Structure 1
Amino acid sequence: MSVFQRLSMIFKSKANRALDSVEDPRETLDYSYQKQLELLQKVRRGVADVATSRKRVELQVQQLEQQSGKLENQSRAALQAGREDLAREALTRRSGLQSQIDSLKQQHEQLQGEEQKLTLAAQRLQAKVDSFRTRKETIKATYTAAQAQTQISEAFSGISEEMGDVGLAIQRAEDKTAQMQARAGAVDELLASGALDDVSGSSKDDIQAELDRMASTSGVELELERMKRELGQGSGSGTAPQIEEGDSRAGGPAGNGSQVQPYRQGEGS
């Protein structure tokens, strides 16, 4: 096999594969049906043409037969008038017309036979076209249903391009969400362990938070105990605390305000 033959075979195989990928069986069936209708129309037109020719021959035969009858009458009239020569001439013409009539009748028989053949062929072709149309519609319906079922199956299984894109988008969103959750958890753990400093100062580890809480509670308890002691001493003496107002001239340097001191038992007034 030569190089050109191999190239030709490769080109034909690739072209055939490309055509198969873009070919729609429904369109091919419709095209074939259209061609059959065109052929049927041509056959019917042929039948009509043959029938027209046959009818034209019939009219010619009728006209020639009328002329032949007229010549026969003229020959009889010529004989009655004693004109044998005219009668002979009329019969001679009638003989020529009869030859034409016989030829036209043969043509009429041939045309009639051809018309019958074409009519029978048209009927058979019509039956084939009707059968092909029924089969065509059945195949188209089956192909459409199979195509729809394939698309639905591909959509459910995620094989189709649209569903594949949606699946990839969902997968990317889930991956990003999981990554952000893992990052947030890691940062919280680092802040809780003290490995990272919280610039806002609001985040503390558990031990420091517990110590701060205990210190705050201890301070509150001490302040509460002191107030209880003070209130207990005041109620035992029966005397309310007094407030002394000092003179600005005797109590301190100029410009100082009055000082308020609580009265305690045992102190001089």
Structure 2
Amino acid sequence: MSDNTSRVRTIFRSKTKKTLDKIEDPRETLDDSYEQQLKLLQQVRQAVADVATAKKRIDLQGQEMGTRYQRLGEQAREAMAQGREDLARAALERRALLEGQVAKLQDQYDTLQRQTAQLQERERQLSEQIAAFRIEKETIKATYTASAAQVKANEAVAGLGASADDIGASLERARDRVAQMQARAAATDELLASGALKDLTASPDADIERQLAAMSAQAEIDRQLRSLQQDAPSGGSPKRGDGPDEWLSIGRQ
């Protein structure tokens, strides 16, 4: 297997691992699970509301039937008081039929009552489970985030340590280049000063001008020494500047 093929496979495995790590991020999985539980809780609460609504309708219907049941009993007694046994019998027959309907309605109401209690208990349990899951979810997410940050920091340190030799070699090469350039600059300065290396930017007679300037400077120094020797016997002292702008006349006298 060639080095290039091995390198490609290593890169591929690295990218695949990063992709899988991103897909299998437990923080996202936990958040998704939490959202699903909240949806289930909402469904249970909706079921509780639906059952409560159905139970209320049966309750209202039962109240109406109860009112009619009591009215039929009063009508039967009133008919007997007036000597109308036939009317009293009809009222009691209707009352008996209504009593059977009320019994069925009572059974439905009792069933809905039990369902309401069961759903409310399930809602309570599910709410407690979701609250506990949320606390554990946030704890796991925080732990995972801290661990991931530590892994990145450790990988960064490890990467820096692995490349420390290369960094040191780069610094050493840079120092060598600087030293070489400094030595070359000093050597060219000496060659220019000695005349061995001609300064192409200077005038053709620059060497003569340089020697004449040096002679003139030496002559000026000799003149100043003679002036000092002449002033010494008379006890004179060098003239001091008369003001802060005196420096502007230096070299121009």
Residue in 1 that maps onto 2:45: 44
Structure 1 residue 118, shift from structure 2 partner = 0.9
Q: Which has the larger radius of gyration?
A: 1
Structure 2 SS opposite 1:124: helix
TM-score normalised according to structure 1 size: 0.57
Q: What's 2:122 paired with?
A: 121
Residue type of the alignment partner of 1:200 = L
1:44–1:122 Cα contact (<8 Å) kept: yes
Classify 1:113/1:171 alpha carbon distance in 2 versus 1 (closer, same or farther; 3 Å): farther
2:94 aligns with: 93
Give the whole-Å Cα distance in 2 for the aligned partners of 1:47 and 1:141.
35
Alignment-derived partner of residue 173 in structure 2: 175
Contact 1:43 1:122 in 2 (8 A): yes
Q: 1:167 to 1:142 in 2, by over 3 A?
A: farther
After superposition, where does 1:1-269 map in structure 2 within 5 Å?
A: 18-158=19-159, 172=170, 174-182=172-180, 200=192, 202=194
Give me the TM-score of the superposition, normalised by structure 2.
0.60
Deviations 1:191-217 (A, max 9, x none): 7xxxx9x8636388xxxxxxxxxxxxx
* Cα deviation digits, residues 89-146 of structure 1 (max 9, x gap): 2122212211111011000111111111111111111121111011101101111211
Higher relative contact order (CA 8 A, sep 6+): 2
Quote the Cα distance in structure 1 between the aligned partners of 2:154 and 2:19.
25
- On the 8 A contact 1:50/1:114 being kept in 2, the answer is yes
Instruction: Give percent identity, aligned residues only.
Output: 40
Structure whose residues are more often helix by fraction: 2
Q: Is the 1:158–1:167 Cα contact (8 Å) retained in structure 2?
A: no
| 1:38-76 alpha-carbon deviations (Å, 9 max, x no partner) | 211111121122122222212221211110110111111
The aligned length equals 182
Paired with 1:37 and 1:115, the residues of 2 have a C-alpha distance of 20
Question: For residue 67 of structure 1, what is the amino acid of its counterpart?
Answer: R
Partner of 1:248: none
CA distance in 2, matches of 1:110, 1:82: 43
